[in-house]
Structure 1
Amino acid sequence: MTNYEIHGALGSPYSMKIRAAFRAKRLHHTWRLCAPMGPNSPTKHVKIPVIPVVKYPDGSWINDSTPLLLDLEKRGEGRSIVPSDPLLRFACYLIEDMADEWLVKAMFHYRWYYEEDKKIVPSWLLYDACLGLDKATIDAMGQQFAARQIGRMPKVGCTPETAPLIEASTNRMLQILEEAVLSKQHFLFGDMASMADAAIFGQLYQLKGDPTPSAMLRKNFPFVFRWLDHIDDASGFEGEWIENLTPVVIQLLKLAGDTYLPFLAANATAIDKGQATFTADLPEGFFTQDIFKYHKKCLERLRKEWSELSPEHRETLSEHLLGGTEVLDCALVQPTS
């Protein structure tokens, strides 16, 4: 039987995203807990040493979650987790990307901002990565890892100044999802889990486990808290994709249009101008962080997908993306000679 190997960690949002996606696709695979560093780490097989790393049946390796899943879709591997309708497919891609690159800030913020989480979570993460070590070693290595991650917080925009903005934006998304999971349509794009569901799950799974956000989810968003278990293994869900934009998807598109796309655009503009940092004017306030080149690639991919939509589909989506439409329409502007 054809078998894929997923080398990842429970504390890695993209590892959990990939595992959930493989399960939703009903694709035969083996899940292997791994340490992201060290001479025996599977990251030695890829250019950028981050997890998850997936080994294909032909022996090749890949570790960028979105291109990986799109490659599996292109190959026709397993059940599709992307709607076939072009308009819905673009919406799925955009929400998936927003989860990967914006919602991740919630994971990073909650994990390394609050004292209880900074005390407990590092040892959990190192326990997963270094099975067999004694508690004292795990605790010591965990605190070393925590210090490194906390030191990176300003680089990814997780600072005391942006903390209220991140929590407000996360709360907005969770309110949308709490309504969604109680609707007849169980997942975002129908009766089956999509790429977007898997990406959201990857990030929120971390909040579900870490002390402070876990308590917040249990108290304020109890059905999202439980719904995450449904996405963790959605292999048994059957049904159809939605045929039109639903209120839930529309609300997520509005969030992408007023928050995520302006964030991507501000980053891209700063890179083009040779600046080291950027500030995005978002509904919850001003958000500042260092430039990130990968985010520019994300915007370029979204612009390419947008340019390939029909004018009618772009017009329909524009009603909900609002200001974000201008960010995407840059792909349609021909450069002057």
Structure 2
Amino acid sequence: MSRYEIFGALGSPYSMKVRAALRAKRLVHTWTGMTADDRQSVMPNVRAPVIPVIRQPDGSWVNDSTPFLLSLEGEGRDLLPPDPVARFACLLLEDMADEWFMKAMFHYRWAYDLDAEWCANWLIYDTLPNTSRLGVEEAAATIRDRQIGRMALVGCTPQTAPLIEASWKRICKVLEAMATGPTRFLFGDRISLADLGFYGQLKVMSVDPTPMTWLRADTPYLYRWIDHADDASGIEGNWSDSISPVVHDLLAIAGETYLPFLKANLDALNSGSDRFSLEIERGRYKQGVFKYQARCLQTLGDVWKDLDVVARDKLAEWIGPNASILSTNV
């Protein structure tokens, strides 16, 4: 049988995103929670050692969730709305979910002692399913120390913590309005790639102790929406004819926060710096540079320049003055 084989982890937001996407698209697939033994045979098939790893029906292997899912447009149910304005908005919001919204996932998971112990034990339990409790907890201490050691590189520090938490809560409250609004998802009554980007991060945060507690108390219907997005294979519906106020609000956040973040990273790369900082979300944000995030801006810019003037003007109105960043020559 022709099928996609997903090798991922229940604690990985991008694994959850891909699994939910293939469910929504109604494509035949299998799911394997990758163990340490599986890694030995699976990871050599891809260049970057990140998950999920997907073996495609033709035998090839991929592990970058966004390009993989975009390559499947036209196969199964589409995840991008057909209208060019809505399509660009969807791509931008999915990118923001993957590259900015995820900062909160990483921060909450490793900044709080309770979460760090819980999550490390959980991740290792999945990786070493036949190991004793003592063995799991000893191995978990190693991954916990390693991940905590990476926090500053990805911008998660005690100094940036208030900013990251405030930005995440701001976005979640906008998404709560979607969850209690007239449509089930961001672009109508069918799930989009942007929904899935936010879903992947929220799915793992919905069981991590600190963010779970806040979500259940402050955005209870978004918390429940996560389960709706987890398997949308049976949810029928159409794309909306117009852009919703919720999407307007999210695009404004992208303009205020995410696009300046991408531009600061690009400027630092172009100047030869290994770190960058900028003022966003009423605070000073700092992190190491990432070439991948420069490619994100380039990809968005390529789609932006292909839009007609009317579409760009509509989007720029919602994004705000920083829409000009999308014309940056990477």
What's the TM-score bracket when you normalise by the shorter of the two chains?
over 0.9
Counterpart for residue 222 of structure 1: 220
RMSD: 1.3
Following the alignment from structure 1 to structure 2, what is the Cα–Cα distance between the partners of residues 36 and 320?
46
Contact kept, 8 Å, 2:36 with 2:128, in 1: the verdict is no
Counterpart for residue 281 of structure 1: 279
**Paired AA for residue 313 in structure 1:** A
Change (3 A) 1:37 1:276: farther
3-state SS of 2:81 partner: coil
Counterpart for residue 6 of structure 1: 6
1:21 and 2:24 correspond: no
3-state SS of 1:209 partner: coil
3-state SS of 1:30 partner: strand
Counterpart for residue 246 of structure 1: 244
Identity of aligned pairs, percent? 50
**Paired AA for residue 173 in structure 1:** I
1:198 and 2:187 correspond: no
3-state SS of 2:131 partner: coil
Contact kept, 8 Å, 1:14 with 1:65, in 2: the verdict is yes
Q: Deviations over 1:107-144 (max 9, x none)?
A: 00000011111121101001111111111111011110
Counterpart for residue 30 of structure 2: 30
Contact kept, 8 Å, 1:36 with 1:43, in 2: the verdict is no
1:116-265 equivalence runs, <5 A? 116-265=114-263
Following the alignment from structure 1 to structure 2, what is the Cα–Cα distance between the partners of residues 321 and 152?
32
- Which TM-score applies when normalising by structure 2? 0.98
Counterpart for residue 295 of structure 2: 297
Counterpart for residue 323 of structure 1: 321
Q: What is the Cα deviation at residue 43 of structure 1? A: 1.5
Q: What is the Cα deviation at residue 38 of structure 1? A: 7.1
1:63 and 2:63 correspond: yes
Following the alignment from structure 2 to structure 1, what is the Cα–Cα distance between the partners of residues 317 and 52?
36
Q: What is the Cα deviation at residue 245 of structure 1? A: 1.2
Contact kept, 8 Å, 1:169 with 1:284, in 2: the verdict is no
Contact kept, 8 Å, 1:168 with 1:284, in 2: the verdict is no
3-state SS of 1:58 partner: coil
Following the alignment from structure 2 to structure 1, what is the Cα–Cα distance between the partners of residues 322 and 164?
19
Which range is displaced more, 244-253 or 31-40? Answer: 31-40
Q: What is the Cα deviation at residue 181 of structure 1? A: 0.7
Q: What is the Cα deviation at residue 190 of structure 1? A: 0.7
Q: What is the Cα deviation at residue 24 of structure 1? A: 0.8
Counterpart for residue 310 of structure 1: 308
Following the alignment from structure 2 to structure 1, what is the Cα–Cα distance between the partners of residues 41 and 321?
43
3-state SS of 2:153 partner: helix
Contact kept, 8 Å, 1:37 with 1:43, in 2: the verdict is no
Following the alignment from structure 1 to structure 2, what is the Cα–Cα distance between the partners of residues 12 and 40?
18
Following the alignment from structure 1 to structure 2, what is the Cα–Cα distance between the partners of residues 40 and 283?
42
Q: What is the Cα deviation at residue 15 of structure 1? A: 0.2
Name which of 263, 266, 269 aligns with 1:268: 266
**Paired AA for residue 55 in structure 1:** R
Following the alignment from structure 1 to structure 2, what is the Cα–Cα distance between the partners of residues 311 and 227?
35
Q: What is the Cα deviation at residue 284 of structure 1? A: 2.6
Count of matched residue pairs? 330
- Which TM-score applies when normalising by structure 1? 0.96
Which range is displaced more, 127-136 or 153-162? Answer: 127-136
Contact kept, 8 Å, 2:93 with 2:250, in 1: the verdict is yes
Contact kept, 8 Å, 2:17 with 2:199, in 1: the verdict is yes
Q: What is the Cα deviation at residue 218 of structure 1? A: 0.7
Q: Deviations over 1:15-71 (max 9, x none)?
A: 000001111111110001103687624121001111100000111000000000011
Q: What is the Cα deviation at residue 301 of structure 1? A: 0.2
1:47 and 2:47 correspond: yes
Structure 1 gaps, min length 5: none
Q: What is the Cα deviation at residue 242 of structure 1? A: 1.1
Q: Deviations over 1:254-288 (max 9, x none)?
A: 01000000000000000000011101221331111
Structure 2 gaps, min length 5: none
Contact kept, 8 Å, 2:26 with 2:233, in 1: the verdict is yes
Contact kept, 8 Å, 2:34 with 2:127, in 1: the verdict is yes
**Paired AA for residue 23 in structure 2:** R
Change (3 A) 1:28 1:275: same
Contact kept, 8 Å, 2:35 with 2:129, in 1: the verdict is no
Q: What is the Cα deviation at residue 235 of structure 1? A: 0.7
